[in-house]
Amino acid sequence: MKALKIVIIMMLILGFAASVAFAAGNAANGKALFEGKSLSSSGMSCTMCHRGSLKPELHKFKTYEEAVNYMITTNLHGKALNPKGKRMADLVAYLKSLNAPKRRVITGC
Ligand code: HEC
């Protein structure tokens, strides 16, 4: 009985560790998704519109997950990703790793 309890506790700990690793996302895998065509049924990739390494900032949507699924289903004619899945976590990690665009401030007029 004791051994069973230990096994159950170990499984819970491992499951928790895996879900934390999952939630963090892998930016390198996200970059591959962003540049590749695996999310698309139209041969488009995110980079075709979002060139360079500028971060697409959120204006319309509240979360990257919502924005990403909107982009996939409209612009890429692809299937929405599971918002809590690994590919979404990877894509969001990549987007967050990008640099925000610099604003041009016009002064002196
Ligand atoms: C056909 C061109 C096109 C493609 C392909 C595209 N985007 Fe976009 N994306 C845009 C444009 C234009 C905007 C800004 C205007 C808007 O909100 O519609 C935008 C906005 C965004 C935003 C910000 C949304 C907000 O809240 O305002 C994110 C994040 C984003 N794109 C991510 C992606 C990702 C990830 C992909 C690939 C899965 C992708 N985009 C593919 C054109 C594109």
Query: What are the pLDDT tens digits along the chain (109 aa)?
Result: 777 786 766 766 666 666 555 568 999 999 999 999 999 998 999 999 998 778 999 999 999 999 999 999 999 999 999 999 999 999 999 999 998 877 777 777 6
Closest-CA residue, ligand 1 atom 16, reads 60
Whether the pTM exceeds 0.95: the reply is no
Give CA angle at 92 (60, 101), nearest 5°.
60
76 CA → ligand 1 middle, Å:
10
Q: Which domains does the chain have, with CATH numbers?
A: 2-97 (1.10.760.10)
Closest-CA residue, ligand 1 atom 11, reads 49
Of 6, 94, 109, the C-alpha closest to 50 is 94
**DSSP tag of 100:** P
Distance CA 70, CA 32 (A): 19
Q: Which atom of ligand 1 is nearest to the CA of 61?
A: 26
